[in-house]
Amino acid sequence: MSHLKLVRLVGAVIVLAGTTWLPVAAQTQAPSPPSPGAPPPTGRAEPMPKPPGTVQPGTAGKSATAPHEANPLIRMAVVSSDGSKVGTVQSVSTGPDGSVKSLHIRTGGFLGFGARLVAIPEGRFTRSGDKVQLGMTAEEVSKLPEVKEQS
């Protein structure tokens, strides 16, 4: 075998062997340098700081920046008087004294598409465990007018 063929053969083997390690090397990242003024790493896991507006334990579910998220009714299943699930609570309208005036529920649609937001007035619902029980049938809920989404 000539010297040139041997060099080509060894070069081809090196290139082919190197291509299998290329994806692995691309996935590994060097650790980022610490930002100026940051404390040095201690080697132990520390809790992440909570973003502003999150509910801290012991604050009874109240948040100054997002009071609508603190309401325990939000995301509860809503069941009609005839026993069928008609939607989920999206938001709660409260009066100045903090009493619930109406529930806005997302109802209808399929897999999240085509659903409507309707308001259930005060006195037409009760909380029953982990769901909201309506004093209306599913047909009555489907006839309610759609309300605008609150921002």
Q: CB–CB of 116/109 below 8 Å?
A: yes
* Global confidence as pTM: 0.51
CB within 8 Å of 84: residues ≥ 6 apart: 138
Rounded Cα–Cα distance for residues 54 and 47 (Å): 15
The CATH class of 68-142 is mainly beta
Q: What pLDDT digit, counting tens, does each position of 36-94 carry?
A: 666 665 555 555 555 554 444 444 434 333 444 568 888 899 999 999 999 999 999 88
Least confident among 5-9, 17-21, 88-92, 100-104: 17-21
Mean pLDDT of 134-147: 91
